[in-house]
Structure 1
Amino acid sequence: MSRLHVVSGKGGTGKTTVAAALALALAADGRRTLLVEVEGRQGIAQLFETGALPYEERKIAGAPGGGEVHALAIDPEFALLDYLHMFYKLGSAGRALKKLGAIDFATTIAPGLRDVLLTGKACEAVRRKGKDGRFVYDYVVMDAPPTGRITRFLNVNHEVAGLARTGPIHNQAQAVMRVLKSPETAVHMVTLLEEMPVQETADGIGELRADGLPTGAVIINMVRPAILDHAAVDAAANGRRAAVAKALSQAGLGGARRGGLAERLVDPLLEQAREHAERVALERAQRAELTGLELPLYELELLTDGVDLAGLYRLATDLRKQWPM
């Protein structure tokens, strides 16, 4: 299995929630996972009901079987200081530049530099080994930018390597791209069974494939339960009024005579059933579109009460049941 899991998706599909659930699922059975946030929204801290994450790796949750989930909110300014210290030995000088505002200036005027630092820090965590020679983290999960920006975000090091032909910057960019374009990495897309998210998912996967970036799975989030079976959905879609009235009567809701309770309930129920049938038909079509992408499909249920910590563990369990981990 890949060691760097990049999770993207259209805004509103719940990609941060899915990234957190995936990190929990991967950490089961004694493994260590690092969950990385790159957009500065502190969404991970909110999901795990903890304080704002600083620029340091810290344990935020345990997983079944003794596993651990650690988290890191990458700050581009601090990442640049790390970079300057690592490649140019500018420890105190780098801190002086920060005081002068030069670090903030550099990361603001050069958005591509921000992405280089963010992806570089995540890849460093993937490659890092302890004194025993083993990887510090079994898996790294990145809550990445949304679908419309993900390909450029991941490919920025390729552009930088082309601009800087030699030296530490070139070598670092090349090293990052070797990780991002290798089987060590998998880019997963989170979507809903709706037209716009599915279309963006298909477009995003097409762009990733065109640029040689490794695609992983499609996670369908917030799947609503099936209320009616196929026969009932078809009956509702065709508006079989008499059959519905008879069924209500047989269920003990009064006779089907005109004006009776069963009779009065027919039209409102048929309207709701028609709406449900339309939604089911739409979801069938969107699921077929996703199947055509020829990637593994996993589904997560809609948590009607919202996503709290217990719900997050529930989603992680659902992923483990479906995902060959």
Structure 2
Amino acid sequence: MSRLQVVSGKGGTGKTTVAAALALALATEGKRTLLVEVEGRQGIAQLFETEALPYEERKIAVAPGGGEVYALAIDPELALLDYLQMFYKLGGAGRALKKLGAIDFATTVAPGLRDVLLTGKACEAVRRKDKSGRYAYDCVVMDAPPTGRITRFLNVNDEVAGLAKIGPIHNQAQAVMRVLKSPETAVHLVTLLEEMPVQETADGIAELRAAQLRVGRVIVNMVRPELLDEAELELGLDRTPRTAIAKSLSAAGLGGARKGGAAERLVDPLLGQAAEYAERFALERDQRAVLTGFGKPLHELPLLAGGMDLAGLYELATALRKQGIA
């Protein structure tokens, strides 16, 4: 089990939801997980129906079995103040720099530094131990940037190469990369059974592998229920006798069976919907085959008909546990 689990995915695939469900799934049997947000969107707070997260680790949920989920929204400016205090003991001087806007300026003109601060804070939580020598968290789950930026975000050593050849920043980047490129870390990619997200997942896997960052699992989100299986579709919906369908509708109480009656008028709309379903079924089957070809563990999460709420989040966590992800 990787202790740092990074969750990425194309925008709109629900990666924040999956990251939150994964943190809940991992927090079983008394374990503690930390769910980290790095994009400043407060998506975690919305999912857990709590107030906006401050720059501190705060318990936000209790998992089945007594496990605990903590959350942290990392603010790069405050992380830089922590960094300045840790390495340079600036204290009040660092806060004065923030008031002057120097902290915001530094993280804006040197985006590599910003990523070092964000990933560094997460890696520090992975390595942290209490006085007894036990890890503070059994797992850290990071809700990371989208697939198109994930490799550059995680490959901070290259990003700061031109910024600092030696010194504390360079050493910090090296320490971060030792965690990110170790077996302690796995990057999971969230997708949908649609062509564009699947292609972006393929590109993301290739980029992560080229950067020697370990790809973990592929998680297919919002999978719609299977109404007709492949055998039923192969029967040929267009060859189904219209009169037989009308009689079945009539028997179910949906209008009379006479010619031109309500039951007969329903036949064409129903066959149209069935044709659309058959087309979507074929597309999803093909995309699932592509995902299987990546050679990574594949998990599927259902589309929740009632929308996403806290109860739905626990439902997804249960689905992940049943699939052996925790």
Give the TM-score band, short-chain normalised: over 0.9
Q: Structure 1: state its 5+ residue gaps.
A: none
Identity of aligned residues (%): 78
Specify the alignment match of 2:285 in structure 1: 284
Matched AA of 1:259: G
Specify the alignment match of 2:319 in structure 1: 318
Specify the alignment match of 1:239 in structure 2: 238
Specify the alignment match of 2:52 in structure 1: 52
Instruction: Write the deviation string for residues 69-119 of structure 1: whole angstroms up to 9, x where unpaired.
Output: 000000000000011111122222211211221111111222221111100
How far apart are the structure 2 equivalents of 1:299 and 1:220? 5
Specify the SS of the correspondent of 1:239: helix
| Structural RMSD (CA) | 1.6
Matched AA of 1:132: S
Q: Structure 2: state its 5+ residue gaps.
A: none
Structural mapping, 1:1-325, within 5 Å = 1-161=1-161, 163-236=163-236, 238-242=237-241, 245-250=243-248, 252-253=251-252, 258-325=259-326
Kindly state the Cα deviation for residue 257 of structure 1 after the two structures are TM-superposed: 6.0
Kindly state the Cα deviation for residue 10 of structure 1 after the two structures are TM-superposed: 0.5
How far apart are the structure 2 equivalents of 1:250 and 1:73? 56
Kindly state the Cα deviation for residue 255 of structure 1 after the two structures are TM-superposed: 7.5
Work out whether residues 158 and 177 of structure 1, in 8 Å CA contact, stay in contact via their aligned partners in 2.
no
* Larger mean Cα displacement after TM superposition, 98-107 or 287-296: 98-107
How far apart are the structure 1 equivalents of 2:20 and 2:243? 47
Kindly state the Cα deviation for residue 161 of structure 1 after the two structures are TM-superposed: 4.6
How far apart are the structure 1 equivalents of 2:263 and 2:103? 71
Instruction: Write the deviation string for residues 108-163 of structure 1: whole angstroms up to 9, x where unpaired.
Output: 22222111110010001000111110100000000000010000000023332565
Work out whether residues 112 and 159 of structure 2, in 8 Å CA contact, stay in contact via their aligned partners in 1.
no
Work out whether residues 219 and 297 of structure 1, in 8 Å CA contact, stay in contact via their aligned partners in 2.
yes
How far apart are the structure 1 equivalents of 2:15 and 2:218? 11
Specify the SS of the correspondent of 2:19: helix
How far apart are the structure 2 equivalents of 1:139 and 1:78? 23
Matched AA of 1:246: A
TM-score (norm 2): 0.95
Work out whether residues 246 and 256 of structure 1, in 8 Å CA contact, stay in contact via their aligned partners in 2.
no
Specify the SS of the correspondent of 1:133: coil
How far apart are the structure 2 equivalents of 1:249 and 1:273? 18
Matched AA of 1:322: Q
Instruction: Write the deviation string for residues 28-48 of structure 1: whole angstroms up to 9, x where unpaired.
Output: 110000000000000000000
